[in-house]
Structure 1
Amino acid sequence: MARLGHEFTSPDLLREALTHASLSAPTRASNQRLEFLGDRVLGLIVAEALLKADPEASEGELAPRLNALVRKETCAAVAEAIALGDFLMMGRSEMLSGGRRKTAILGDAMEAVIAAIYLDAGMERTRKLVLKLWEPHLKGVEGRARDPKTALQEWAQSRSMPPPEYVVVDRSGPDHKPNFTIEVRLRDGSSARATAASKRAAQQSAAKSLLAVKETEHG
């Protein structure tokens, strides 16, 4: 793929990275194993870049930036920018259902391609390509990292879930200084709670907590 800026020494690695599970067979591996590796390689490269870009940032500031840059939605956006979906190999039913445009599929494929480049050419080459592809997202990451509600909604949407539900489960304190406890719920039954002096702040805090749990579970 010319748009990647990398010519593979082992084309079979790229072929595997572009093969969706719907087309896998005993003689044709899907990109799931490469996706597993690519997720870790991407995380390391982005973490290093964030540390270098802001030497004074705390772990609490860096973690949401990292999550914003490595989550499936961002990986899918990068994949869309290089038209990666046009090259994916998948089963007919998945293709007819719009698989080439699905966030989860594009995100997984992008991570698999990163792993393929890593195995083909090593970390230094992979780092250069990732930083080039992620440059637009790295520039504005502070703003996106500060909005957990949007991030959680995008996470749910990419997995065909309805938007998260926010419920006030408790209100305490005097009228001039209230405290709100908000519970955010996803259709899969998972939830998280947070308390703050405003509903919005409690919603953001609850969304951040639940998003951290879900991203840890799903990688």
Structure 2
Amino acid sequence: MMNTPDLADANIRAVVTDIEGTTTDIRFVHDVLFPYAHDQLPEYVNTHSAQPDVAEQIDAVRRELGDPDASLDSVIETLLYWIETDQKKTSLKALQGMMWADGYQRGAFQGHLYADVAPRLRQWAEAGKKLYVYSSGSVQAQKLLFGHSVEGDLTPLFSGYFDTHIGHKREIKAYRHITAELGLPAASILFLSDVVEELDGARQAGMQTLQLVREGTQAGAEHASVASFDEIDL
């Protein structure tokens, strides 16, 4: 059973939203983006290995392996293993971002959004609310998804983006860092996520919290919850 949110008197000035399971079906990442990067990676790395930004990530993988002379085949094999085991490696994220950018720009796919998301984001932005994204995916990946979404380019609606460089999503200090970056009282910031542990961190940092309970998500008793953005009244 979900708790009905009461935000009418909260004076929300900014909304920080998660992506996977909140604005976007988690299956989009796992069924579309990850397989695309896995399929494209060998050819992409081989073809672009001399490109400075790609070469930088190849060297980062070699450092991670502790072998500065590791062959390109070994680097590719490692990257594929990291994708298959869903490891959050910075060099992998950077390369995935490059491949996804290519895929978005070629129209291989569009960023998925639940139908209730874009209308509410536009409404909040028009009402003067500041909108931000906080996701474990890189800032580049966030901008690509919202910039090439099924609802068109939504990036003009957002005032900023945060990834794990600001801190782990289940740690209080990450939300304190975000609050400091926004320059707003924590109580005037609403954090949206489907993950209770993330909401716990945000609440302990003083933010307002709201759980999105999409298909496959279990509602937690500790936070107000809704099934869609349509139910959020600011």
TM-score tier, shorter chain, comes to under 0.3
More helix by share: 1
| TM-score, structure 1 as length reference | 0.26
Q: Which has the higher contact order (CA 8 A, sep 6+)?
A: 2
